[in-house]
Amino acid sequence: MRILVTGGCGFIGSAVVRHLIRTTGHHVLNVDSMTYAASSETVAEVASSDRYSFAQVDITDGAALRTLFETFKPDAVMHLAAESHVDRSIDGPGIFIQTNVTGTYTLLEAARAWWMTLDARKRDQFRFHHISTDEVFGALDLNDPPFTETTPYDPRSPYSASKAASDHLVRAWHHTYGMPTFVTNTTNNYGIWHFPEKLIPLVTINAIEGKELPVYGQGENIRDWLFVEDHAEALVLAVERGQPGETYAIGARQPKTNLEVVKTICAVLDELAPDANGPRERLIRYVTDRPGHDFRYEIDPSHAETSLGWKASHDFTAGIRRTVQWYLDNRTWWEGIRSRRYTGQRLGQVSAPATAKEAV
């Protein structure tokens, strides 16, 4: 297959690109506008492959996208490009609407224009795979059953609302135009190359540096954690096996409170790199909760496991160990990011970073 991947220099997108080049014979065109959270280093190990190519294009640029479709001639699209940080969406929702809603619409139209040029067999085989989040389903109480593919939408933040809108667009293009689209919704991912503003890398790096570990409220909020390489494997199986009009909820069955996550990171780091000043749990600080902080997310991945022949292979402790070790071994990458002031919209555009928002 020839697969056009959007957002392939981001956290999950780069894991998908690496997995495609490492383990399949597919050809990949990585389309990324290189926002603050993107890094070419994430795909450096596969960049020399003759099956890999890159285009720095914004998904809101319809003309540029149409040119890419005409020249690359994809058999499938894997759409991962998105603004994804909830705290940033609270402070500045506009870019989330522009990228996640307008960008998805623009990409859908470019894909549809290309799809319409294909012969009947190729049109039937084409796939538009939209990668989304479980946050579109709202929040769960402690005893509620996990989210499934049929859970009603109830987004609670500008980020999740923008992703919900994009999901609806993708499904509408299938039902209205017959375009072979489908959606996957996933829970929280973690792993290597994760941008330092997110929960697990933020805590890991702060703990390495002996800085405070800010935790929202009492750390009781619950998330279902999926190792990013397991997710990448599931997404590639989905683009190969997924059926038009379907939804696949992808999760690891590993819910943890935020405080459990922080304490696990501290324990693993204390083992791998002991601190002369004592156990890292001493660094935990409880801070005022953020607005509209959803209590719990958790996915029941039974349908995806059965339909795709996939199951997450990393348990949480093993995944955290690999992640913490990677951040210990790759200080140059995250120290370079930490030394920049990084709220600009594109590489090279910078302004003051958020500080109070850097909490779990």
Please tell me the predicted confidence (pLDDT) of residue 343.
Answer: 41
Mean pLDDT of the chain: 92
Catalytic, 229? Answer: no
Domains defined along the chain, listed by start? 2-195+226-254+297-313 (3.40.50.720)
Question: Strands, E, within 13-172: which ranges?
Answer: 27-31, 52-55, 76-79, 127-133
Residue 167 appears among annotated catalytic residues: no
DSSP state of 352: P
The pLDDT score that the predictor gives to residue 357 is 34
pLDDT at 247 over 70: yes
Stated pTM of the model: 0.91
Class of residue 245 by CB neighbours under 10 A (exposed 0-12, middle 13-18, buried 19+): middle
Would you say residue 292 has pLDDT above 90? Answer: no
Q: Which one of the listed residues 134, 197, 224, 305 is annotated catalytic?
A: 134
Closest CA to 152 of 170, 166, 140, 169: 140
Task: Give residue 342's pLDDT band: very low, low, confident or very high (50, 70, 90).
Answer: very low
Distances (CA, A) of 7 to 117, 172, 176, 205: 25, 22, 26, 24
Is the pLDDT confidence value at 349 over 60?
Answer: no
Distance CA 231, CA 258 (A): 20
Pairwise CA distance, residues 205 & 179, whole Å? 44
Catalytic residue among 36, 52, 105, 159: 159
Could you tell me where the beta strands, DSSP code E, fall in the chain?
Answer: 2-6, 27-31, 52-55, 76-79, 127-133, 181-186, 188-190, 213-216, 222-227, 247-250, 255-257, 284-287
In the chain, the amino acid numbered 181 is T
Q: How far is CA 146 from CA 76, 137, 352, in A?
A: 30, 10, 38
For the cut 50, the answer to whether the pLDDT of residue 152 exceeds it is: yes
- Pair 261, 360: CB distance under 8 Å: yes
70 as an active site residue: the answer is no
Residue the block writes with tokens 């190969």? 240
Q: What is the pLDDT averaged over residues 147-164?
A: 96
pLDDT at 346: 34
* % of the chain at pLDDT higher than 70: 94
What's the CA gap between 230 and 252, in Å, rounded? Answer: 9
Determine which one of 32, 58, 87, 135 is catalytic. 135
Query: What's residue 347's pLDDT?
Result: 31
pLDDT at residue 284 greater than cutoff 50: yes
- Does 289 have pLDDT greater than 80? yes
Whether the predicted pLDDT of 308 surpasses 60: yes
How confident is the model over 49-107, as pLDDT tens digits? 999 999 999 999 999 999 999 999 999 999 999 998 888 898 899 999 999 999 999 99
